[in-house]
Amino acid sequence: MVYHIKKNKNLQIMNKRKTIESWNLYVITDENLSKGRSHLEIAKSVIAGGAEVIQLRDKTASSQKLYHIGLDLRKLTRENRVSFIVNDRLDIALAVEADGLHIGQSDLPVHIARQLIGHNKILGVSASSLQEALEAEKHGADYLGVGPIFEARGTKGDAGIPLGLSLIPEIQKNSKLPQVAIGGINSQNVPEVIKAGAIAVAVISAIVAQEDIQMATRQLRKTIRMTKEQCE
């Protein structure tokens, strides 16, 4: 029995890692920056543009509203085989059967979040230092949201001081976890982020705040993939 439990756990970890390694562009929804477009409208456009991951992030919506938004996004992402992550809200992530949860340093402890969501769900953790990255890995994170890399203007008010690119290779040397870089990333600076070692980039305003979300998504994803090909 113990053998089968361990085998299933290892298989779940391998499947999650395979999914994460397929990511290039991770888009975080934000209605405050979207020129009146809803979370669902944003998601439809970024999926059409080729994003592999969508994170639902809304700090102001009621639990009931967020639940219904999450259900719509779960249906859409499942139909299109896109990963669906919920920011902060473990209850919503479980209720809508999201693919995973992303938490920050001030949210639930990583080991508690892991216990509650189980081993079949993806768990991402924000890290702005090597120590935070190693703690997240130790307690069960599947990937790291590393940043802010550059100055994040007009998005998260609590983004913090830009860290630059040096943290990415530092973490890469000391941790096996894949890194999703975040913070002020756009089509101009994304090549250097990928070259530094990030497996994917997470963006908000670089896509959500643009007039043509689908086109912005397509162009940024193309730049990421071209850079990865050059690095091979």
Give me the active site residues, please: 57, 126, 156
C-alpha–C-alpha distance, residues 223 and 112, integer Å: 37
Per this entry, what is the length of the chain?
232
> Encoding tokens for residue 207?
């896509």
Asked if 181 contacts 146 with a C-beta cutoff of 8 angstroms, the reply is: yes
- Closest by Cα among 5, 4, 200, 21 to 119: 5
DSSP 112: H
Asked if 194 contacts 218 with a C-beta cutoff of 8 angstroms, the reply is: no
Asked if 123 contacts 116 with a C-beta cutoff of 8 angstroms, the reply is: no
Asked if 201 contacts 187 with a C-beta cutoff of 8 angstroms, the reply is: no
C-alpha–C-alpha distance, residues 123 and 109, integer Å: 12
Measured in whole angstroms, the distance separating CA 64 from the mean position of its chain's CA atoms is 23
C-alpha–C-alpha distance, residues 148 and 178, integer Å: 16
C-alpha–C-alpha distance, residues 124 and 85, integer Å: 9
C-alpha–C-alpha distance, residues 70 and 93, integer Å: 8
> Encoding tokens for residue 142?
């599947």
